[in-house]
Structures are given as structure tokens and as C-alpha cells.
Chain A
């Protein structure tokens, strides 16, 4: 799954200060590997969005550098980098403007100079993928919030970038929309895309990502698989994140001796057999445990 040698984004000692003087990033180092799904988590103002805005050159480093497929972002335009890195912004209303859903998706393809027949096939493919082809003649502003979100994803997928950044994809979405976003991420994984997700949603992260980078106050505190990073109470406290429900449950189970010291179960399908075993032993006349 992860090819450590295949780094697609390399962040080296990155510092960024906003024009107003706020230092948002203070020495960030991070590597994003080809084909992985990476989540960047942290409290509000930790610097997550500032960091990912460096991936397609919207922001240029104050100090340090960001290499995207070996290209130094300081010397490349946003348009050049956007062909490699597709950015889906948090608020769909910030990026929709066309008269029709079709034109919205075709916009980036036209900017990149694709011929009309390619544009047509790519738009059709992307809209079908996001289940929006039926709305192709409608105004983007007439769609529901979830559909607008999917439209912004379609408009990025249409030009087939290698890396896709999703900024807070689950914010303000109901359960059904979250499920749809989960399916999209799964699909992107199957397509071999590298996906970077900026999110607060710990439950979402436990199910869908390969690695988590935890940020606080402009620095990366830890990077690793979610089962390690999200089971570290001290780290979560420092990053002001809430532990996933199952990690909280694991702590209770550890206190009652059902799980061993230092043992966590962060997936329901792995924890369930252990609980069933304990409950069954209780039903058989033994100690119920809890």
C-alpha cells in the first residue's frame, strides 16, 4: 500500500507567516507517499489548511520548501501545480459560478486547454461517478449542500490530478452524505490516487485513512497509522482532539480487565468478538467481567 520510496509531496522545514504577521506554520516536516490516504488533524488554527494550501502553491513558503513530484512550489504557478494537485475547498459556494453543472465541471478542463471531445467525455465520466449526470443542465446553486460538495469533487476529478486534497469534506454533512464521501475516498483509493484529508472527524479517520498527521500550534506533533496516533491520550490532549468512541470504550474495558494494559481496539469488528466472548462466559456461569 505505502511505498516509502515514492514520495509525492515533501515538506521540508516549512514556515509560513500571514501578511498580518500571524505565524501559522513553524518548521513543518512531512512526507506524503504515493497512493496513500493521509489525514491531517488538529484543533482550529493549528495550521492544517495553511499547510495543504502549500501543496498547490496557493501559499508560498516564508521559509523552507515544499516539493510536489520534485517541483519546488516556490518556482511554479498555481495553475501548473493544480494539474498534479486537485484541491476541493471546504465551502462549495466559494468555487461554484457556472450557469450549469456541466459547465462547472468543464471549467478546469478548458483552462488546461483540453480539446472539446476530451472535455465532453471527462465531464460525463466525472458527473456519472458522482451521480450528478442527471443534473448536468441545472444551475449548480439549485443543488443541495451534499450535491454541491460532490460537484466540487467532480470538477476536480475531471482533470485527473494525481493528488487530491479534501479540506474538511465531512464538515456540516449528514450521515448519508458522509457515507457518500466515504465511498468517494474508497473509489479514489482504488483509482490509485494520493488523498490528503484535512479534518476534525476522528471517527471518519479511523475508518478511512492509512496515516494521520496530528498538528497543533503550527507544528506536526506526530505522524503514523491511526491505530497508534489516535490511541495516544496524551497526544490527543495536546492536539485538543477527542479520542474515537471505541478508544474511549477500550479504556473502560482495560479498567475492568477485559483488555490488557496498553491494548486498544479501534475497530468495532475486532472489539465485538472479545466482548461477545466475555458476555458468553458470563452467560455460562462465569464472571460477566463488566
Chain B
């Protein structure tokens, strides 16, 4: 549930929010790429710290820290599996891989936390993705928080009828979660059909090229941002 909440977009008025979404995408992708390239613990930590610093500038430090906290168990599992079954014998490589997972989670979450569904749509269309597909992606992200609320509602309803989700053997627990899936799928299918009807009723799918209320235009500050990012990448690679 916490992981789903990380996708909930909340508009803020910070220097990061005001930046062009393409710049924010570039930042996240660059951090993720650097994380994949880096092979040392220090560099992975540096990327995580950079992501946290950007989150602090975007007034979302607590939320990003929450995402990292939610990713910790999986990261610990990556560490343990690589330590026990990995090709090397040392602790460095498993730790780098575990930290890389956290760095990737943090850098990509940063983008989704600071980008509204509208901006995401504009970004995808600026990348020449057909509108049907960009709508599909934005709608998916748009409905993640709604899905989180639905999961909560269904869980509450089942618990109210005496179902204890976290009790019993592993097979019992898995079966308990199957009870959760049926109403959730039925509800989401109904919701998607309604959303599709609502979209069609408002002219979606019309053969004419849709106009946009807002167009993406890079500002001077965005170029400055890119220059800063380039300097960061050069410094990072030189380290």
C-alpha cells in the first residue's frame, strides 16, 4: 500500500516542479543510467543522496524516504541472494547491487512524484508516441492511487466479515489474498468501461488532431538545469 501511495501526485510550487517535464525525465534517466554504470558503494550512495537532495528541493524528502524505506526489504533480499549465491565472495558486489536497486527506485520515483499525469501525457506526445498510447500510460498512472483506495476498501470489507488476511499458513494467506483479487478485478473492469465511455463521450478517438491547452516550451532555467546536470554527470564520471 505504501508503495502504491508513492505514485500519488501532489502539486507543489518548487523549482523542480516548475522545470520542464522533459528535464525532469532527463534527470531521472541520467541518475538511473549512472547507477547502472557505477560499480562502487560510494557512487551508489552518492546517487541516492543526489535523489534525496532533489526531493528536498521539491519538498518531497519525506515521501522519497518513504519509497526507499518501502524498497528496503526487496533490496535486502537482493543483497542476501547475491551474497549467498552470487559469483563473487566479497560483500561489495552484493551491496552495490542492493544499493543500485534503491538508487533506481529513488531516481525513477522522483520523476513520478514531481510529474502530473497531464505533464506525463505532454512528455510522451513530445516523444511522438501516438495519443492512444500516451493516454494509456497516463491513465494507468492516474488510476494507481485510486486502485490503492479500492484495495483498502475491499480489504476493510473482507476484514469486517471476519477474514484475517495475515493469519494462518502461507497457503492460507495466499488464498486470503485471492479473495481480495475478485472484487478488485470486477470493480476495476467496471471502472475502466465507465472511463472508456466517458472518454468517448467527450470526443476521444476523433480523427482530427487534438489541440493542446498547454504546449511544452523549454525556458532559460531549463537549459541551466541541463547544464548543471551535464556538469554533475561529468564530475561523477571523473570521480
Give me the interface of A with B, judged by CB distance under 8 Å. 19-20, 53, 56, 58, 77-79, 82-83, 86-87, 89, 91, 93-98, 107-108, 111-112, 141, 155-156, 159
Contacts and interface: CB of A to CB of B under 8 A. Distances in A.
B144 to A, nearest CB: 15
A93 B182 CA distance: 10
A86 to B, nearest CB: 8
B154 A95 contact: yes
A149 B153 CA distance: 16
A95 B190 contact: no
Nearest to A95: B157
B206 interface: no
B156 interface: yes
Nearest to B8: A20
Contacts of B190: 93
Contacts of A155: 161
Contacts of A159: 162
B65 interface: no
Interface in B149-176: 150, 153-154, 156-164
Contact of B164 (A77, A93, A156): A77
Given A53-B156, A58-B156, A94-B150, A82 B161 contact: yes
Contact of B162 (A91, A98, A112): A112
A97 B179 contact: yes
A94 B153 contact: yes
A94 B160 contact: no
A118 to B, nearest CB: 15
Given A97-B158, A97-B179, 16 more contacts: A20-B5, A58-B156, A78-B164, A79-B162, A82-B159, A89-B153, A89-B160, A93-B183, A94-B150, A94-B154, A95-B157, A95-B158, A95-B161, A111-B161, A111-B164, A112-B162
A170 B190 CA distance: 21
With most chain B CB atoms within 10 A of its CB, the pick from A82, A93, A111, A112 is A93
Contacts of A96: 183, 186
A79 B163 contact: yes
Contact of B161 (A20, A53, A91, A107): A107
Contacts of A91: 153, 187
B186 A93 contact: yes
B19 to A, nearest CB: 25
A98 B161 CA distance: 13
A95 B159 contact: no
In the complex, the 3 A-B pairs of residues with the closest C-beta atoms, listed nearest first: A111-B162, A95-B157, A97-B182
B179 A78 contact: no
Contacts of B5: 19-20
B183 to A, nearest CB: 5
B159 A141 contact: no
A71 to B, nearest CB: 16
Contacts of A97: 158, 179, 182-183, 186
Nearest to A99: B182
Contacts of B159: 58, 78-79, 82
Contacts of B150: 94
Contacts of B162: 79, 82-83, 108, 111-112, 159
Contacts of A58: 156, 159-160
B187 A93 contact: yes
Contacts of A79: 159, 162-164
A79 B159 CA distance: 6
A141 to B, nearest CB: 6
B163 A89 contact: no
A217 to B, nearest CB: 22
With most chain A CB atoms within 10 A of its CB, the pick from B156, B157, B160 is B160
Given A53-B156, A58-B156, A94 B161 contact: no
A165 to B, nearest CB: 9
B153 A111 contact: no
Contacts of A141: 186
A64 to B, nearest CB: 21
A93 B157 CA distance: 10
Nearest to A87: B160
Contact of A94 (B164, B179, B187): B187
Interface in B180-225: 182-183, 186-187, 190
